[in-house]
């Protein structure tokens, strides 16, 4: 069998068999400061390794979500992410949202193409606060964005440690998650709109009237429209959270 396998396939197979050893040797080679049990069980904010505190209290599995400067983030995956079947969703996560909410989350978690990390974060968030979890899940499912996972994790850890109250956490989830999660959709909308404005010579007209370079005008319009759309999504999500939480 080995003779017929490409070098890449053989390396991949070996990597899958011994993920920890391969990734750790890579990390040592790159001079990274690895997280260990001191980091995973830490409760404070002081951190001496590369995660900058993101892995604190994460248990022995140890997520690593912060990219190291100048290195691809995939190298920094210290240990394999949890598989979906290993995720534990406690029964109390049904909460005020009822069984329908849980099954929706469960089916989302089993969706193809979603990373195990984001799934774990959403499961944890939903278990602790069904309303926030439900909105975050919808936001991620609708707009799919890797950064949403990082934002969710940060908010969740702050909420868990008591740094944020429930209404504050709800606000932060809606602001940060929708901002990050809808960035791509908003950018695309803005880009299409500006293209239309260029074709209809609207940008040329604005530039003439305001004495601003057309290139600068179009770039500023793109960013401004994108920021406006992201804010619109955030306001909508905030409204949903407030009305569902009765806040």
Partner 1 sequence: MSKETFDAITVIAVRKAKFYVRSRDELLKRVPSSVDRDEVNVALRKAISLVDNSLFIGKNETVTRVIDPSTPIEQLDLDTDKIISEVIRKLSSL
102 to each of 108, 138, 153, 226, how far by Cα in Å?
A: 10, 13, 19, 33
Q: Is residue 220 close enough to count as binding partner 1 by CB under 8 A?
A: yes
Binding mask 194-213 for partner 1 (x = CB under 8 A): ------------x---x-xx
Cα dihedral sign for 64, 24, 75, 18?
negative
Q: Is residue 228 close enough to count as binding partner 1 by CB under 8 A?
A: yes
Neighbours of 3 (CB within 10 A): 4
Give the nearest distance from C-beta 226 to partner 1 in angstroms.
Answer: 7
Measured in Å, how far apart are the chain's first and last C-alpha atoms?
62
What CA–CA distance (Å, rounded) separates 80 from 89?
A: 20
Give the nearest distance from C-beta 117 to partner 1 in angstroms.
Answer: 20
Residue of the chain from 131, 221, 237, 241 that contacts partner 1 (CB under 8 A): 221
- Of residues 138 through 197, those in contact with partner 1 by CB under 8 A are 193
Residue of the chain from 116, 227, 240, 245 that contacts partner 1 (CB under 8 A): 227
Of 56 and 222, which CB lies nearer to partner 1 in the complex structure?
Answer: 222
Give the nearest distance from C-beta 224 to partner 1 in angstroms.
Answer: 4
Give the CB-side neighbour count of residue 198, counting CA atoms within 13 A: 14
Q: Is residue 39 close enough to count as binding partner 1 by CB under 8 A?
A: no
Of 63, 56, 19, nearest in space to 41 by CA: 56
Helices and strands counted in the chain (H then E): 12, 0
Residue of the chain from 106, 154, 231, 240 that contacts partner 1 (CB under 8 A): 231
- Of residues 70 through 89, those in contact with partner 1 by CB under 8 A are none
């Amino acid at each position: 069998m080995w003779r017929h396998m490409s070098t890449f396939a053989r390396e991949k197979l070996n990597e899958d068999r011994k993920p920890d050893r391969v990734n750790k040797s890579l990390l040592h080679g790159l001079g990274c400061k690895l997280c260990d049990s001191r980091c995973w069980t830490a409760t404070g904010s002081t951190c001496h390794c590369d995660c900058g505190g993101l892995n604190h209290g994460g248990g022995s599995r140890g997520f690593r979500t912060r990219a190291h400067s100048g290195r691809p983030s995939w190298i920094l995956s210290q240990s394999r992410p949890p598989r979906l079947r290993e995720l534990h969703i406690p029964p109390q996560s049904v909460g005020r949202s009822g069984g329908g909410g849980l099954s929706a989350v469960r089916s989302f978690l089993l969706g193809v193409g979603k990373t195990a990390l984001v799934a774990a974060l959403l499961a944890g968030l939903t278990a602790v606060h069904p309303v926030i979890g439900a909105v975050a899940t919808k936001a991620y499912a609708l707009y799919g964005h890797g950064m949403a996972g990082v934002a969710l994790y940060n908010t969740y850890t702050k909420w868990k440690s008591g740094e944020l109250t429930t209404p504050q956490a709800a606000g932060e989830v809606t602001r940060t998650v929708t901002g990050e999660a809808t960035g791509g959709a908003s950018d695309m909308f803005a880009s299409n709109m500006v293209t239309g404005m260029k074709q209809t010579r609207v940008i040329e007209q604005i530039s003439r009237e305001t004495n601003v370079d057309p290139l600068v005008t179009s770039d500023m319009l793109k960013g401004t429209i994108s920021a406006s759309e992201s804010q619109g999504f955030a306001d909508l999500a905030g409204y949903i959270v407030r009305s569902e939480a009765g806040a």
